Structure 1
Amino acid sequence: MARKDELGRRGEDLAARFLEDAGYRIVARNWRCRQGEIDIIARNTDTLVFVEVKTRSTLAFGHPFEAITTTKLARLRALAALWCAEHRPHATRIRLDAIAVITSRSGPPAIEHLQGVF
């Protein structure tokens, strides 16, 4: 596995744990279809949350949130609709979130969670 893939997997693991610690229940991870992938699908009470996770080891190439473009958000929205059509969840609300993970060799990772990004 490439270093970039390992970093991404570690970031998704940290993000999932962060959500669970905040009271979310993970419904699915790395759900894929022909149109793309959703990193994390979680439930928080009556809200179904689709999460895009971006991980960086440094800020040399910008903050992880800077990699989440309007095109990426539109794709996440379309993927969320496809997932809902396939799984027919019983949720009052649906939300798109983003989580940034910045890992560090010298300390704990920094995790930021933006709710309702689209």
Structure 2
Amino acid sequence: MSITLHGTGDRRSHLELGRRGEDLAAAFLRESGLVVLSRNWRCREGELDIVATDRTTLIVCEVKTCSGTGFGEPAEAVTQEKMARIRRITGHWLSAFHLGWCPIRFDVIAVDYPPDGAPSLRHIPGAF
């Protein structure tokens, strides 16, 4: 089965593109020495794409994937409202896993997955 990842506006294509970007981001984090604790963790307020740790800091990663920059860079899609929601959801994650205070860093991973080329990834540590 083949899924087109661009140009159709098809929801399944969009979800597949996002999943591929998150897979690439998780692999990148692991190769960078981080331990991925959760992927696509959900609560009533929303979802955290990736929660990882370097064994001293909890790292919450928002992954944005696109197949081109016609609508701007992927990282530009992380608005102030989205940042505030991710912070609130992180509080729910900490409660769910019974963790007290710990250092937390919020990163953005922007993945460009062009239709006719190799994907590229840009990691922005401490993005917000």
TM above 0.5, yes or no, is yes
* Deviation for aligned residue 1:91: 7.1
2:26 corresponds to which residue? 16
What is the RMSD computed on CA atoms of the aligned residues?
Answer: 1.5
Q: Which amino acid aligns with 2:124?
A: L
Percent identity (aligned): 46
Asked whether the 8 Å contact 1:48–1:91 carries over to 2, the reply is no
* Deviation for aligned residue 1:89: 3.2
The number of aligned residues is: 118
Asked whether the 8 Å contact 1:46–1:91 carries over to 2, the reply is no
TM-score by length of 1: 0.93
Asked whether the 8 Å contact 2:94–2:100 carries over to 1, the reply is no
* Deviation for aligned residue 1:94: 1.0
Asked whether the 8 Å contact 1:47–1:91 carries over to 2, the reply is no
Q: How does 1:24-103 map to 2 (within 5 A)?
A: 24-89=34-99, 92-103=102-113
Segments ≥4 residues shifted beyond 3 Å? 89-92
Tell me which moved more, 102-111 or 1-10: 102-111
Q: Which amino acid aligns with 1:51?
A: C
Counterparts of 2:120 and 2:44, CA distance in 1: 32
1:104 corresponds to which residue? 114
Gaps of 5+ in 2: 1-10
TM-score by length of 2: 0.86
Gaps of 5+ in 1: none
Counterpart secondary structure, 1:16: helix
Which has the higher Rg, Structure 1 or Structure 2? 2
